[in-house]
Amino acid sequence: MSAKIHGTQPRPFVSATVSNQWTSGICDCFQDIPHCCFAFWCFPCFACLTAREAGECLCLPLLDSFGFIPPMTTALRVSIRQRYGIEGTICNDCVYSFFCGPCSWCQVSREIKTRKNPIIFTNTGA
């Protein structure tokens, strides 16, 4: 008499967490040194490329020079918050855009980069 043995392989456990917070703080520019340096040395180019990565017009950030509170920086922060479900207020976005413009653009760039390429943890159950 022969017995059939059925074996099953453990399945990987995939866990992807989606947060309602920014993945990095406004002053965490040094988490991505190349982007930080690019923003520092050629901010207009950096802002335009970040706007394009966000799916907006390449030259949209150049309109920021026409307002007291940078309208495009504020609008892009609001757009990214809504796209990824990040908590916050438009008041905070205005404050960050006005007082921390380059840091705000770096944060948006890091957020797009992180959310497009999430880190997924896999447990093989071994």
Q: Please choose, from the candidates 26, 30, 45, 43, the residue with its C-alpha nearest in 3D space to the C-alpha of residue 111.
A: 26
**pLDDT tens per residue across all 126 residues of the chain:** 566 766 665 555 444 556 789 999 999 988 889 988 999 999 999 999 999 999 998 888 888 877 677 889 999 999 999 999 999 999 999 999 999 989 999 999 999 999 887 666 666 655
Q: Where are the domains of the chain?
A: 31-54+66-101
How, if at all, do strands 121-123 and 13-15 pair? antiparallel
CA terminus-to-terminus distance, the chain:
32
